[in-house]
Structures are given as C-alpha cells and as structure tokens.
A and B are shown apart, each in its own frame.
Chain A
Amino acid sequence: MPNANVCQLIVDPPADGAWNMAVDEALLATAAETGIPTLRFYQWLRPTLSLGYFQQNADRQSHPASLEAEVVRRLSGGGAILHDQELTYSLVLPTDHSLAKDTQALYQTIHKAIVRYLADLISKSTAPWQPTQCVATPQSNSRSEPFLCFRRRSTGDVLLEPTEGLPSSENHKIVGSAQRRRRGAILQHGSILLTRSDAAPELLGFTDLTGIPLVANSAADCLQLAFAEALAVKLETSCFSDSVGDLAKKILLQRYGNSSWLERR
C-alpha cells in the first residue's frame, strides 16, 4: 500500500511534445493502478502547439503565428497552448486522494500555490502587477471560446492584474491548466508563461509584464515546495520507473506519435 503522504517528484529535461504527453498519460494510467501520486516538471525541445482533446486540428489555421510549430493533441480538455518560453507541470493523483474526487478543488489548490509563489516574487520588486485567480461565468459551450487557452477565462485561472494605471480588466492569463480523469485518478497539467513566444506573440509572460527575470529551472525548484505544502505531501525525487517508460513508449506509438490521433477531429 503506497504512503498517501508521499508524492514522487520528477524533473525531466526538455523533450518533444509527443513524448511529454505520452509520459503524462503513462503516469495517469499507473496512478490509477498503483495509487502512486506524481508531480512532474518538464519543458519542450521546440515550440509546440498542444490542442485540447476536443479541439479540431483544422482550427489551428485560425492562429497563423503557430502554424510552423509542431503540434500534438493532449489527453486533457481546454484550449490550445503554445509551449515555448514556459514551465510545464503535471500532477497525477490516484483515486483515493481527496482532491482526485473534486476537480475544481484541485484546480484551485494548485493555482493558489502558484499565486502565492508569484506574489512573493512580485513583493520583492516594484512591478505594478498582482497575481489573482479568475472568477468567471461558466461557458455553456466551448465551441464559441477562443482557440488559445490563454485567451480564455475560467474560474480559478491565474491572472496578472495591474495594481495602478490600468483598469483591472487589462489582465493577462499567466497560468493555464487542464485535466483528464481516468478510473477515478486524475491528471492535471498546466503551463506557466515566462516570456513571450514568437509563435504566440500576442501572449505576454510573467517576465514581459513584471520585468522580473524568471527561468524555468528555478521556478520549478520553488514551485515543487509550494505544491508539496498545498497538497500536504512529502516529495521524493525520482525518475519514472521502467514500467512507466515502457508504457509511455507504447502510448507514444498508439497515440501521440501517430497522425491519426492528431487528426481524429
């Protein structure tokens, strides 16, 4: 029986989008069977557009700046994300974890931890911005939603809001997350925008807005502590097991490395 208070921590080097998504799915499938929670941080070898599970591949034509980028379909919902100058996290919780049963509570818990971390960074500067969480009216139909996740607003999203000079409506979404449930276990992965990407130039990152330098590795070091505190778990640094690696390779062939997965919609 795994110790529910222990969470394995994986910090992966940059990899291509298909592999990153295959590993996240393998960790989800493994958590559903073994009860092992995992927190993972990773980056992307090249600018990559990830489509939400239900998005149409053809809709990427509506975003010309990212047409040259690689593309992968996620297992999770929500809008498309351009992964470039960012830090990506994934958190997998097994069925018996209390937050696995409440997707909104998990979303809020993780995003609150990110808000605290960003607020701490900003408090040591004179940047006229404050991180906050979005309170949005639920959408009844996401077909009318913007293509990019960072152009959408959902309850719990992390925003940077100006503290002076600009109306609070001039906010910028800085973190977007999405989820997938499987047999009671849950995967939540999300992106923290650090700086603007040429493949999505309309989206400004944390450093662009605040002027505070933030690099992915140091953000990962700090956020792992913030997440552990928020989840009340002890992190144990690890790398994924051979069985997870083998499963990820299988998933890569079946799904993310296969054009039929991308073109299924």
Chain B
Amino acid sequence: MSPEDLLFAKTHEWVAVAEENGAKVATLGLSAFAIEALTDLVYIDLPAVGRQVEAEQPFCEVESVKAVSDIYSPVEGEVIAVNDALPDALEILGSDPYGAGWIAKIKITDEAGLSNLMDHAAYQEQCK
C-alpha cells in the first residue's frame, strides 16, 4: 500500500479501510516515521483475535531496546486477524511498514474514530 492512500492517527498508526464480507475492516500498522523513531525493535505483543478494542485505547505494545510503547486502535471493533509473522521478524515493520508490516485487522463496529484521522499530507506536517 502507498502511504498516500492511508489515514493516520496522531499516535502514528496508519489505517486502511476496506469492505470484507459485507463488513468494514480496518487494517492497522505503524507509520515509517514511528518505526524509525522507535529504533531497534525487540518485542511486540499482539492482541488476541476476538478481542474487542475501543477507539484511541491501547491494544498492542512494542519494545525498542528499553522503551515500551503502546499502540492505539484508531477505531472501535473486534480484532479479526493479527500478523503472526511479526514477533519473530520485527524487521518487517521497518522494511515494509505499509505492506507486510501490517499489525492487525479490526472489524469496525463504530466508525466515529475514523473522523479523527489525518491524510498523509496532514500527518507529515505533524511529524515535522
């Protein structure tokens, strides 16, 4: 995916929304800017499939050498898939943050959180 086609949260998650089996599904990841700022990643704690998540609440954690950071869900919904390859291959987050580095898919139950997201240009402004 191209970052220009994605939406971004102020907490540096990216979101791609698509229709899957009649439901709106958000695919989430971390922006390239965030990955670079976090530096050397050593752990990720993925959410359980089936977990209900709330908009703007933490649902996943990542450790970079000594710093643990929360990853926030920009939308409310149910985790329907996680990228199981990540815990043993965290370098994917840096090498392909907007593709193979996706973190989770969430079936959206409330779209309100989407209105708080930025397009790529606005997100880049935030990162300056």
Inter-chain CA distance A146–B39, complex, in Å, is 20
How far does the Cβ of A111 sit from chain B's closest Cβ, in whole Å? 11
Find out whether the CB atom of B70 lies under 8 angstroms from the CB atom of A54.
Answer: no
Inter-chain CA distance A136–B91, complex, in Å, is 19
Interface: B96 (CB within 8 A): no
Interface: A102 (CB within 8 A): yes
Interface: B67 (CB within 8 A): yes
| Residues on the B chain within 8 Å of A89, using CB | none
Find out whether the CB atom of A142 lies under 8 angstroms from the CB atom of B39.
Answer: no
What interface size band does chain A fall in?
20 to 34
Most chain A beta-carbon neighbours within 10 Å: one of B43, B65, B66, B68: B66
The chain B residue with its CB closest to the CB of A74 is B68
The chain B residue with its CB closest to the CB of A265 is B45
Inter-chain CA distance A61–B77, complex, in Å, is 40
Q: How many B residues have CB within 8 A of the partner chain?
A: 18
Contact of A107 among B37, B38, B66, B91 (CB under 8 A): B66
List which A159-206 residues lie within 8 A (CB) of chain B: 177-184, 186
Find out whether the CB atom of B67 lies under 8 angstroms from the CB atom of A139.
Answer: no
Contact of A138 among B65, B67, B69 (CB under 8 A): B65
Find out whether the CB atom of B42 lies under 8 angstroms from the CB atom of A139.
Answer: yes
Interface: B11 (CB within 8 A): yes
| Residues on the A chain within 8 Å of B119, using CB | none
Contact of B67 among A140, A142, A181, A184 (CB under 8 A): A181
Interface: B54 (CB within 8 A): no
How far does the Cβ of B101 sit from chain A's closest Cβ, in whole Å? 16
Interface: A94 (CB within 8 A): no
How far does the Cβ of B95 sit from chain A's closest Cβ, in whole Å? 13
Inter-chain CA distance A53–B65, complex, in Å, is 12
Inter-chain CA distance A227–B68, complex, in Å, is 23
Inter-chain CA distance A182–B66, complex, in Å, is 14
Inter-chain CA distance A64–B37, complex, in Å, is 37
Find out whether the CB atom of A142 lies under 8 angstroms from the CB atom of B68.
Answer: no
| Residues on the A chain within 8 Å of B109, using CB | none
Find out whether the CB atom of B69 lies under 8 angstroms from the CB atom of A154.
Answer: no
Find out whether the CB atom of B42 lies under 8 angstroms from the CB atom of A181.
Answer: no
Find out whether the CB atom of A77 lies under 8 angstroms from the CB atom of B11.
Answer: no
Inter-chain CA distance A2–B40, complex, in Å, is 33
Interface: B64 (CB within 8 A): yes
Contact of A179 among B11, B40, B45, B68 (CB under 8 A): B68
Instruction: Give A residues with C-beta under 8 Å from B.
Output: 53-54, 75-78, 101-104, 107, 138-142, 154, 177-184, 186
